[in-house]
C-alpha cells in the first residue's frame, strides 16, 4: 500500500440528519459478504435508491455536485447502532476519507480510525455552519498532522484524534502490529490469570 497524504482538500456532501445509524449506512441484507471490498455502491442504499431501484434524486449522494467528494458532513451522533465495520467499509468504498459530525458513536469511531476514515468531531456550532452552508463547489481542507479542519471561509478549527490513531495513520503502522508487539506482556498476563473456561470442551461433548 502506498502512503496516503493526510492533508487533503475536498468538496463535501451534507446529510443533515441526526443519529444516523449503521443500518442506514449499510443495510443488514448486504452483510452476507465475506469481503471488505465492494460495499461502496450499497452505502446509504435505502436512502439513495427508490423502491423501483432508481436513484433518489433528492438524496445528497446522488446530486451531481457530490461527485468526487471525500468528506461527508452529518448530524449529531453519527454511526450509532450496530458494530458492523461494513459501515466504514461502505463509506470508504464510496470514496469518503473523513466524516464531520458533532459526535460519533463509540464503536463506529473505533472502526473508522482503524480503517483510516477520519471521524472529525467539531463543536455543534461549527457543524451547524457547515450544514447551513450551500456545499456546492465549496472545499474544506483536512490535515491530520496538525489536526485542523479548514472551513470554506478559511477559518481553522482543531479536531481531536487519539494520539495513537494519529501516529498509526501517519506512519502507516496498525493496531495489530502494536498488539503483536505486546505478546510477551500478554503471555505474562496469561501465566498469572489462568482461565476458568475451556471452550474446546464443546467439541468433545455434543
Partner 1 sequence: MSTTRPRTLFEKLWDRHVVRDETDATPAVLYVDLHLVHEVTSAQAFTELRQRGLRVRAPGRTVATMDHSTPTTRGGFAALPIRDEKTASRVAQVEQLARNCEEFGISLLALGDRRQGIVHVIGPELGLTQPGMTVVCGDSHTSTHGAFGALAFGIGTSQVAHVLATQCVLQTRPKTLEVRVDGTLAPGVTAKDVILAICARLGVGGATGHVIEYRGSVIRALSMEERMTICNMSIEAGARAGMIAPDETTFAYLEGRPHAPRGAAWDAAVADWRTLATDDGAVFDRSIVIDGSAIAPMITYGTNPGMGMSIDESVPDPGRLADRSERENAERALRYMGITAGKPLAGTPVDVVFVGSCTNSRISDLRDAASVMRGRRVAEGVRVLVVPGSQQVKRQAEEEGLDRVFLAAGAEWRESGCSMCIAMNGDQLAPGQLAVSTSNRNFEGRQGSGGRTLLASPLTAAAAAVTGVITDPRTLFTGGSL
Determine contact, residues 102/122, Cβ cutoff 8 Å. yes
Q: Cell triple for residue 22?
A: 449503521
Is the four-CA dihedral 6, 104, 164, 186 of positive or negative sign? negative
Of residues 156 and 174, the one with the C-beta less far from partner 1 = 174
Using rule CB under 8 A, residue 106 touches partner 1: yes
Q: According to the binding rule CB under 8 A, does residue 14 interact with partner 1?
A: no
- Note whether 182 binds partner 1 by CB under 8 A: yes
- β-pairing, 148-150 vs 156-158, is antiparallel
Q: Which of 12, 96, 97, 110 binds partner 1 (CB under 8 A)?
A: 110
Of 85, 115, 116, 80, nearest to 6 by C-alpha is 116
Q: From the CA atom positions of the chain, what is the Rg in Å?
A: 20
Among 88, 91, 92, 94, binds partner 1 (CB under 8 A): 88
Cell of 147: 489536526
Mapped onto helix, strand or coil, the DSSP state of residue 21 is strand
141 binds partner 1 (CB under 8 A): no
Q: Which residues make up the interface to partner 1 (CB under 8 A)?
A: 16-19, 21, 23-24, 27-29, 31-36, 46, 51, 75-77, 80-86, 88, 103, 105-107, 110-111, 114-115, 128, 162-164, 167, 175-176, 178-180, 182-183, 185-186, 189-190, 193, 195-203, 205-206
Amino acid at each position: 500500500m502506498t502512503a496516503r497524504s493526510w492533508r487533503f482538500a475536498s468538496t463535501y456532501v451534507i446529510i443533515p440528519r441526526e443519529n444516523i445509524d449503521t443500518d442506514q449506512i449499510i443495510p443488514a441484507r448486504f452483510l452476507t459478504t465475506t469481503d471488505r471490498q465492494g460495499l461502496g455502491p450499497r452505502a446509504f442504499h435505502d436512502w439513495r435508491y427508490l423502491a423501483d431501484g432508481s436513484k433518489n434524486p433528492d438524496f445528497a449522494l446522488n446530486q451531481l455536485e457530490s461527485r468526487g467528494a471525500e468528506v461527508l458532513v452529518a448530524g449529531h451522533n453519527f454511526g450509532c447502532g450496530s458494530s458492523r465495520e461494513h459501515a466504514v467499509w461502505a463509506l470508504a468504498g464510496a470514496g469518503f476519507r473523513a466524516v464531520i459530525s458533532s459526535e460519533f458513536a463509540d464503536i463506529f469511531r473505533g472502526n473508522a480510525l482503524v480503517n483510516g476514515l477520519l471521524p472529525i468531531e467539531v463543536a455543534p456550532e461549527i457543524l451547524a455552519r457547515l450544514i447551513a452552508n450551500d456545499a456546492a463547489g465549496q472545499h474544506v481542507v483536512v490535515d491530520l498532522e496538525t489536526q485542523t479542519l479548514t472551513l470554506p471561509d478559511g477559518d481553522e478549527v482543531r479536531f481531536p484524534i487519539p494520539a495513537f490513531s494519529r501516529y498509526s495513520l501517519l506512519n502507516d503502522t496498525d493496531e495489530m502490529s502494536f498488539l503483536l508487539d505486546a505478546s510477551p506482556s500478554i503471555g505474562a498476563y496469561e501465566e498469572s490469570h489462568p482461565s476458568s473456561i475451556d471452550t474446546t470442551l464443546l467439541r468433545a461433548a455434543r
